[in-house]
Structure 1
Amino acid sequence: MSFLKSIAFIASLFFAFLPRDNQEKPKVLIIGDSISIGYTPFVQEELGSKASVFHNPGNAQHTGTGLNKIEEWIGDENWDIIQFNWGLWDLCYRHPGSKVQGNRDKIYGTITYSLEDYSSNLDSLVGILKSKTDAKLIFVTTSYVPENEAGRFQKDGIKYNKAAKKIMKKHSVIVNDIYKKSRKIHQEFGKGNDDVHYQEKGYQALGSIISEFIANEIK
């Protein structure tokens, strides 16, 4: 072997064992509502060296939106992990005459999706996900619903999570149950007892929970 060929051979071995770039990291897609939009930047930061993390465009809202958009969100990407959640929009009561943001009104409004319809929609969504991708699926439960939220009953968050976990068990989908942890975070870093959203520190704390769970699944 000539000297130049020897150098080329050694160089090829060197580059073969270099760390893979971002394009070759595991690809993670997060599908979810405004809570997930809030914590995704922190997940992207924490998992930056381990995975490329993306969020579906905009707010995934309720399971009806999911059924209309899920195939578009998956696209042709070869996802390694897809984390998804629906619930807060599904259990929300709205009334066209309400002046509260989003027309929320749990007294005179109509629920977006009943518990039965939510379960049925989730069942269909998991079926679509399994048929369209080989990605590992992670379902994240609905986060904490404070008592004075205008369009949501606190007890419904627990009921919808229980129904969702039943569907995930049926399909052998991994569940990251964040409800109890999110309650503690909300009490310290929530935007108030009438708002499901969080301050920046709250989203950061949620992001750490999500990041740790995904990192374990990547391993």
Structure 2
Amino acid sequence: MTGLRAFRPVVTLAVILAAGLLAGPQLQAAEPADRPATAELPRVLLIGDSISIGYTKPVIELLKGRAEVQHNPGNAGNTGRTLPNLAKWIAPERGKWDVIHFNWGLWDLCYRHPDAKTKGRRDKINGTVTHTPEEYRQNLEKLVSMLEQTGAKLVWASTTPVPEGEAGRKVGDEVIYNRIAAEVMQKHGIPINDLHALMAPHMKTKTTAPGNVHFTKEGSAMLAAQVAEAIEKLLPQE
């Protein structure tokens, strides 16, 4: 990721735990349409899957008084799912966004099969990948172009690691997809918040179960600290 800025956390895990700012991946993110703009504060939009849903609540608390933080409606899923929906999330009538922190990846690289018995019909042996690397690149280009039209400051979050034993995802595929994303972001001059590097050393201790891509409350707190720092750097200065 040469030439791209990577962010590191400054808020300690102990502080987050003490403040009770933890949220699991089942947090229901408020829809932007349901949250009117607060004139006094910059507005921040988080876009992503259940990983980002898991760190949304603590990010809201960490930036309390500095920014109004919202998540896209529900789970953004893969790039293809977002393409027909993004325009609604960033529509001008819903107010101006000052910062947009976004990710797609884990759903794009997931293999699924209609006969699979696992949750989400994940099957990396017999299934078909949701989006090939080239399809992912093409979709990202379209999505980034749409986000740029908002005039918001953009920051990309790299996709977190795939653990050993994941039913529908192959270890190392996220590195391939992250490399593609880095190329797209470099082309557009968008900084990268390297969540992959942050969590790679903790996949055996901070995930909810072996072979699960989701993080414990402590893992989500680690992510939230780094996300909040990345956003803080892009907020309008008082």
Give the aligned partner of residue 210 of structure 1.
227
Provide Cα deviations, 1:59-92, integer angstroms capped at 9, x if missing partner.
0000001111111111222000011100000000
Distance in 1 (CA, whole Å) between partners of 2:210 and 2:139 is 29
Let me know the Cα RMSD of the aligned residues.
1.3
| Deviation, structure 1 residue 183 | 1.8
In the alignment, does 2:55 pair up with 1:39? yes
Q: CA deviation at 1:212?
A: 1.1
Aligned-partner residue type, residue 97 of structure 1: D
Q: What are the equivalent positions in structure 2 for 1:68-217 lying under 5 Å apart?
A: 68-76=84-92, 77-131=95-149, 133-217=150-234
SS across alignment from 2:39: helix
Contact 1:185-1:205 at 8 Å conserved across structures: no
1:93 offset after TM fit, Å? 0.1
Cα shift readout 1:29-71 (whole Å, capped 9, x = no counterpart)? 0010000000010100000121110000100000001111111
CA distance in 1, matches of 2:211, 2:97: 36
Aligned to 1:18: none
SS at match of 1:53: strand
Q: Distance in 2 between matches of 1:196 and 1:121?
A: 23
Displacement after TM superposition at 1:158 (Å)? 0.5
C-alpha distance after superposition, 1:85-133 (max 9, x if no partner): 00000000000000000000000000000000000100111111112x0
Question: What is residue 62 of structure 1 aligned with on the other side?
Answer: 78
- Partner Cα distance (1:197, 1:101) in 2: 13
Percent identity, please: 45
Q: TM-score, normalised by structure 2?
A: 0.81
CA displacement 1:13-39 (0-9 Å, x = unmatched):
xxxxxxxx9531110000100000000
In structure 1, the gaps of 5 or more residues are 1-20
- TM-score, normalization by structure 1: 0.87
What amino acid is the match of 1:39? Y
Residue correspondences, number: 198
Higher helix share: 1
Question: How far off its partner does 1:201 sit?
Answer: 1.2
Letter in 2 for 1:172: G
Q: Distance in 2 between matches of 1:27 and 1:124?
A: 23
Q: Which runs of 5+ in 2 are unaligned?
A: 1-36
TM-fit CA distance, 1:193: 2.7
Q: CA deviation at 1:173?
A: 1.1
Task: Check conservation: 1:186, 1:202, Cα contact below 8 A.
Answer: no
Q: List structure 1 segments (4+ residues) > 3 angstroms apart after TM superposition.
A: none
In structure 2, distance between residues paired with 1:159 and 1:110: 17
Letter in 2 for 1:105: D
